[in-house]
Amino acid sequence: MTLDLTRIADPRVVSENRMPAHSDHRWFRDGVEAASGTSSFEQLLSGRWKFHYAPSPADTVEGFASPDFDASGWDEIPVPAHIQLQGYDRPQYVNVQYPWDGHEQVEPGQIPTLFNPVASYRRTFALEQPLEAGETVSIVFEGAESAIAVWCNGVYIGYATDSFTPSEFDVTDALVAGENVLAAQVIKWSSGSWLEDQDMYRFSGLFRDVVLRRRPAVHAEDLRVTTALADDTASAEVRLAVALRGEGTVSARLEGVGELLSADDGALVVRVEEPELWSPERPFLYELLIEVRDAAGEVTEVVPQQVGIRRFAIDDGLLTLNGRRVVFHGVNRHEFGLEGRVMTREQTEEDLRALKRINVNAIRTSHYPNNSFFYELADRYGFLVIDEMNLETHGMWDRLRYLGAGDDEAFPGDRAEWVPALLDRAASMLERDKNHPSVVMWSCGNESYGGTGILAVADWFRAHDTRPVHYEGVDWDPRHPETSDVLSRMYTPARELPAYLAEHPGKPLILCEYAHAMGNSFGAVDEYLDLAYREPRFQGAFIWDFSDQAIALVDPDGRSYFGYGGDCGDAPNDGDFCGDGIFFADHTPSPKAQEVAKLYQGLVVTVERDAFTVESRLLATRSSEYECRVTLSREGEVLETTTVPTDVAPGERATHPLPVTVPDAAGEYAVEVSFRLREATSWADAGHEAAWGQGSSAPGRHPPAWAPSRSGSCGASTTRACTARTSTRCSPACTAVSCRTATERAPTAAAN
């Protein structure tokens, strides 16, 4: 009744008895319950669990899953949590190396056995309501790193790999009346760990919620919602396909539009005239209310589903949203906070609010699928998401790059034994996330070279969905360029991109990582933004990365500090290379965040002595939706403030006369044009500054010599000091006298 090591060390064994992946919809007893947001079909099992730590599989406790086993002497541990942050094992930060390197010699697919911690969990539960006729119950482990085996009342239930997508098992037949015993073992390193060599802290355990889900006798097991937008965007078709379990019927209504009607293929369809379109600036969501009835016509469940009508596609070699060319003002984001990858919905929501405030419009889920609520929030707040599969084999790839290994040594590469795991991870991500309008591309993973295995993943994505497929690895292994629908690179100097585009015609280009934000290394990023609006096929980039990865530690004198690789005695480690965010480890903005806000602003303002020009880089918003405030100041003292009506359409530009007069008297004068929210939003208060530009006169000159601010750089001057904490300088790109600092760390560039 313990983990079978021969199965765990076999890359072909992906799961046993795990339920097929399905959409992440929720279901409720009726409309009233749906409106409350609390489902009686769900029972949360997170909380305190009995816990046993074993440093290796050989040290686990035999028979621990038996209902008669006495676990009263065991420790207790919170779920969700990483065991390494609860006093067991130790946190380890490593980038390229595999975490067991230098400890045990194992080949790809094999697992360490001398040291490979196993976490054994137990808890009891009773169903909150007795099962009704035909109902079933499943147990869902939203995140278990890296492989999990499950027992209920001593009955073996199943096994699953893939740390970052749900593992769901049917436990109906194992349940007993009254108290039930749930037991699980999570092993730190399985064969699947060879596919999880991301640049991140390495943890293990149950790090996302555990939930019981009841299914009524007639149940919508899976939903697929698709939208087809007319070329002129004047109408759209919303289509719903339901995989129904049991004998019954499905009806649906799109709020504000009407009932969906049956189509010839069995789907339900409704036409929407003059639809409100979803975009990062206007993330409008329709509510689709689905009712499931049994053969007698009784409602068995109600399913609310948010629908965003939008069209993301590659048109004539360009990435477009609703017919307009897109530029990604992007960031890579690890799902990581002060408790590691244990992130609450509230913490995630605040991350997205913070990113909205600095004008980020796109997120790459580096380098694994996030918790399901991330996508719901991205839908609501408006982000373009590249959803990335849980795949990285960086340590093996480096053998090819630096040690001269041949393509035949790459993995997954062309090795057939890894294909089941790859396709399983692709399906687990796509089937869960497919109904989210925020998801605009599927990514095959990160830094795993190339080969027929990853090509099979790309082909599977295209066979099951219409979204474009992304994979940067074809830049290193060009044998199968059809793997990726876009050109993708990392850290390419801006000056080299025009030549690269000329040499690689046909596909749009993005940098899935750039502007490695370590220390002060965030200078000259404006060159990339300028290029993105000159070269049509260069369509933006994703900063590495959102926040520093660090863990809260206490030194021997009781002082708190943030720790990095090596601070917990972990080896191998990569030191503080994970300290490369535009936000600090506590997710407060670093000085670099102010620079990001300027670079990524959707309205570019150039201020001359007598006029200012507004260029709109927005997709769906006119400048009139912001208050345009013009301020004249002399050496920091405000002389005059007024507002100017503007109405610049997306993609257009307009010049307006200045409503203030710059005096001819000696001194340094500045004119600042600021665009601010007229009303509060879900992510910022009224008055929040969304864009600004500034022009100033040279100090001591008479008459003043005018110098308009550069559109791409920070734009700080002696009249606008840096407001970010712990710094006297806006960014390395800022050259203003008041922002200069005595020292500056050199930029660091590395792939992640």
Residue type, 57: P
Query: HSE-up of 116 (CA within 13 Å, CB side)?
Result: 26
Interatomic CA distance for residues 123 and 113, integer angstroms: 27
513 part of the active site: yes
Is residue 676 helix, strand or coil? strand
Interatomic CA distance for residues 648 and 603, integer angstroms: 9
* C-alpha triplet 511, 733, 543: angle, nearest 5°: 25
Interatomic CA distance for residues 365 and 445, integer angstroms: 10
Containing 509, the helix (H) or strand (E) segment is strand 509-514
76 part of the active site: no
Contact 33, 306 (CB under 8 A): no
* C-alpha triplet 405, 566, 348: angle, nearest 5°: 90
Interatomic CA distance for residues 396 and 194, integer angstroms: 9
Interatomic CA distance for residues 698 and 675, integer angstroms: 25
Name the token pair of 67: 């209902």
Contact 578, 201 (CB under 8 A): yes
Q: Which of 145, 388, 447, 595 is catalytic?
A: 447
Q: In what order do the strands lie in the sheet with 75-79?
A: 15-16, 155-161, 147-152, 180-187, 118-125, 47-54, 75-79
Is residue 99 helix, strand or coil? coil
| Cis amide linkage into residue 232, ω under 30° from 0 | no
| Burial letters 70-96, b for 16+ CB under 10 A, else e | ebeebeebbbbbbbbbbebbebbbbbb
Contact 445, 428 (CB under 8 A): no
Q: Which of 335, 431, 513, 627 is catalytic?
A: 513
Catalytic residues: 447, 513
